[in-house]
């Protein structure tokens, strides 16, 4: 999963270097309540957050969870919640003053985290947001999902094509989203959404 995560991170970098990002920096994004700058900061944060997780102290007596449980146990987003507002505020701070500054910091963060991950075993336990314990590969899988999903959000927001991700990244993302959706919505809605358009409904999404 380390290679898959780094592949996703490097593919997403093209958006942060796009001139279109600087042009749209202060405009509303495709995500409600997010400016383009904040969305770009949120995307970049999916790499810098990994360093934060690696540096967080271990939790005691907490069950070890995987990426599917991490997402499935969380409630659907309430844009007015303290958590949602906190995410937007952190994202704006992470964005910094300008797109070029964010792009440079992002590139440096990818290089730094790649060096740190090189010697780490995939089953090393990591503390995520000081609340959950996850194996490293499952923690990185959550960041792959975030990178791919928010890269599409940002691309739509600034009017450029969504980056192309490797087959490994796409497979990991789509498979995990399907598993989350099954856990949250049930087997039949997801099965119909993927195979029978005439019987599908709006409640087969992972989020």
Q: Which residue is associated with the tokens 């963060």?
A: 109
Instruction: Enumerate the domain spans of the chain.
Output: 2-163
pLDDT recorded at residue 157: 95
Portion of the chain with pLDDT greater than 70, in percent: 90
| Cβ atoms within 10 Å, residue 126 | 21
Cα separation, 99 vs 163, in Å, equals 18
201 confidence band (pLDDT: 50, 70, 90): low
Q: Which residue did the predictor score with more confidence, 38 or 202?
A: 38
- How does pLDDT run across 27-65, given as a tens digit for each residue? 999 888 888 999 999 999 999 999 999 999 988 877 899
Residues 180, 206 contacting (CB under 8 angstroms): yes
Find, among 86, 106, 192, 83, the residue nearest to 154 by Cα: 106
Residues 75-97 pLDDT 10s: 666 666 667 677 788 888 888 88
Q: Which single residue is written with the structure tokens 């791919």?
A: 148
Q: What pLDDT does 78 receive?
A: 61
What is the arithmetic mean of pLDDT over 18-32?
91
pLDDT reported for residue 25: 92
pLDDT of residue 32: 82
Centroid of chain to Cα 9: 10
- Longest alpha-carbon distance in the chain: 49
Task: In whole angstroms, give the CA distance from residue 117 to residue 6.
Answer: 10
pLDDT of residue 81: 67
The pTM of the full predicted model, rounded to 2 decimals, is 0.89
Q: How many residues does the chain have?
A: 207
Lowest mean pLDDT among 74-88, 114-128, 178-192: 74-88
Average pLDDT, the chain: 88
- Residue 73 has a pLDDT of 81
Q: Which fold has domain 2-163?
A: 1.20.120
**Number of neighbouring beta carbons within 10 Å of residue 31:** 19
What totals of helices (H) and strands (E) does the chain contain, helices first?
9, 2
Q: Which residues of 84-93 are buried (b: 16+ CB within 10 A; e: fewer)?
A: eeebbeebbe
pLDDT value at position 154? 95
Distance between CA 189 and CA 47 in Å, rounded? 33
Nearest to 141 by CA among 156, 122, 155, 127: 122
Q: Spell out the residues 6+ positions from residue 45 whose beta carbon is closer than 8 angstroms to its own.
A: 90, 91, 94
Confidence grade of residue 189 (pLDDT, cut at 50, 70, 90):
confident
């Amino acid at each position: 999963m380390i290679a898959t995560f780094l592949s996703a991170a490097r593919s997403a970098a093209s958006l942060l270097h796009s001139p279109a990002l600087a042009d749209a920096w202060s405009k509303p994004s495709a995500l409600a309540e997010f400016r383009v700058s904040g969305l770009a900061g949120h995307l970049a944060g999916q790499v810098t957050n990994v360093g934060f997780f690696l540096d967080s102290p271990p939790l005691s007596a907490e069950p070890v969870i995987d990426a599917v449980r991490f997402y499935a146990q969380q409630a659907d987003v309430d844009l007015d919640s303290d958590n949602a507002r906190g995410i937007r505020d952190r994202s704006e701070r992470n964005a910094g003053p300008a797109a070029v500054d964010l792009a440079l910091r992002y590139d440096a963060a990818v290089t730094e985290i790649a060096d740190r991950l090189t010697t780490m075993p995939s089953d090393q336990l990591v503390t995520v947001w000081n609340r959950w314990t996850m194996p490293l590969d499952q923690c990185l899988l959550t960041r792959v999902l975030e990178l791919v999903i928010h890269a599409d959000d940002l691309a739509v927001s600034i009017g450029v094509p969504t980056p192309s991700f490797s087959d490994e990244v796409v497979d990991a993302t789509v498979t995990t989203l399907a598993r989350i959706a099954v856990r949250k919505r049930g087997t039949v809605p997801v099965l119909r959404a993927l195979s029978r358009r005439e019987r599908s409904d709006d409640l087969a999404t992972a989020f």
